[in-house]
Amino acid sequence: MSILPPLQNNKPVYIVDTTLRDGEQAPGVVFTLKEKVRIAQMLDEIGVDQLEAGTPIMGGDEAASIYAIAHLGLHASIMAWCRAQRGDVDAALACGVDALEISAPTSDLLIRHKLNSSRQEVLENMQQVVRYAKQHGVYVSVGAEDTTRSEEAFVIQYALAAQEAGADRLRYCDTVGTMDPFTLADCICRIRQKVSLPIEIHTHNDFGLATANTLAAFRAGATFLSTTATGLGERSGNAALEEILMALKHLFKVPIPYNLAKLSVACHFVAAAAKRSIAPDKPIIGSALFCHESGIHADATLKNTETYEPFAPEEIGLSRQLIIGKHSGSSAIQKRFADLGICLNKDTARKLIDEIRCHAIKHKTALSDQDLLHIYQRWHPAE
């Protein structure tokens, strides 16, 4: 039985975007220094609360880009990712960041096979490094890598140890995307009953549930939400920034302070820098989201856009399009020709439908304005 509390739309929410760290860890993705700086600026313009800029211990270009971002004078907090090692903390501090993510595995699978260590060693080492970092006056988030495949009792023990060492929050990680929203919400609720640290939720999309899991965790009390622009990330990616923000606003009715009109441009910039295409049907930012072809849908949308649109395209910097193709009806055809400066009455539009549909079927595509004009000029009925 779920122990989920009632949703409160006035609860705080903070976006921790990791496009520059986890996003760039997607196979084959490399951002230049210039691209990283521009991505950081664009995310800051949206109003993201914290930017996870990278992993300083890598040195070289990675450390240089983190240093550059940390000294841009952005409104967002700039965080660096660290292993639970003093050397990682020193490298991060040298970059001038104001926040650290100190991460260690909590699942026995990773403790044994990744670290060749024990639970006790993980706890003791994590506490030592957290205390060391806090001595330097930075904000510290403690990550429990592979939380969702860890024994819950140990996760709570780990969180309490981090809390005792002075950590500022706990990052709960669905590292390989194996959690479902219902189970995750209950887990977050139980941890919140035992631990007073604020909780960040960091999810991966291996089963297509990263956004759903993040929202479920927020519903259960996580107040820091980890995202990447377009959902870019390792394997199948992370929770998508644009999906999370729009869901918070439209589904949860949370009065978020973010500049949503900047979302589409930022996401397309990230995709281009990553050399990844954005699918036309990509939620929120896909080019087909506000394209209407079906005659019944297009006719209703022309009468009232709310009939088949969950939000206005202008809200995120997109525009509405009527697509003329196999499924188009007379209302859309009239509107499209009117946009081209040709006034068709209803009967004429209906007479053109068959030829338009034949063209769409033959070429397996929607019709361009040139295609429509060609059909009109060839057919050119008397009105």
Res 95: pLDDT: 98
CA distance 163 to 300: 55
Using the CB atoms, write b or e for 26-49: b if 16+ within 10 Å.
beebebeeebbbbbbebbbbbbbb
Using the CB atoms, write b or e for 306-334: b if 16+ within 10 Å.
eeeeebebeebbbeebbbbbbbbbbbbbb
Residue 97 near residue 48, CB atoms below 8 Å = no
Mean pLDDT of 147-168: 98
pLDDT tens-digit readout, 47-65: 999 999 999 999 999 999 9
pLDDT tens-digit readout, 225-274: 999 999 999 999 999 999 999 999 999 999 999 999 999 999 999 999 99
In the predicted structure, residue 293 carries a pLDDT above the cut 80: no
More confident residue, 269 or 360: 269
Mean pLDDT of 171-176: 98
Of 140, 150, 82, nearest to 111 by C-alpha is 150
Average confidence score pLDDT of the chain: 90
pTM over 0.75: yes
Residue type at position 316: I
Res 378: pLDDT: 73
- Whole-number Cα distances in Å, 17 to 11, 75, 232, 241: 19, 14, 11, 7
Res 166: pLDDT: 98
Tokens of 267: 């996401």
More confident residue, 293 or 222: 222
pLDDT tens-digit readout, 197-232: 999 999 999 999 999 999 999 999 999 999 999 999
Res 252: pLDDT: 94
Res 1: pLDDT: 42
More confident residue, 246 or 365: 246
Res 333: pLDDT: 78
pLDDT tens-digit readout, 280-291: 899 999 988 776
> What is the band of 379 on the pLDDT scale with cuts at 50, 70, 90?
low
* Residues contacting residue 90 through CB under 8 Å, at least 6 positions apart: none
pLDDT tens-digit readout, 86-144: 999 999 999 999 999 999 999 999 999 999 999 999 999 999 999 999 999 999 999 99
Tokens of 226: 């980890």
Res 7: pLDDT: 61
> Among 9-18, 25-34, 214-223, 353-362, where is mean pLDDT lowest?
353-362
Mean pLDDT of 319-332: 74
More confident residue, 226 or 11: 226
> What is the band of 8 on the pLDDT scale with cuts at 50, 70, 90?
low
Write down all domains in the chain, each with its CATH number in brackets: 14-273 (3.20.20.70), 291-379 (4.10.430.20)
Phi, psi (5° rounding) for residue 38?
-70, -40
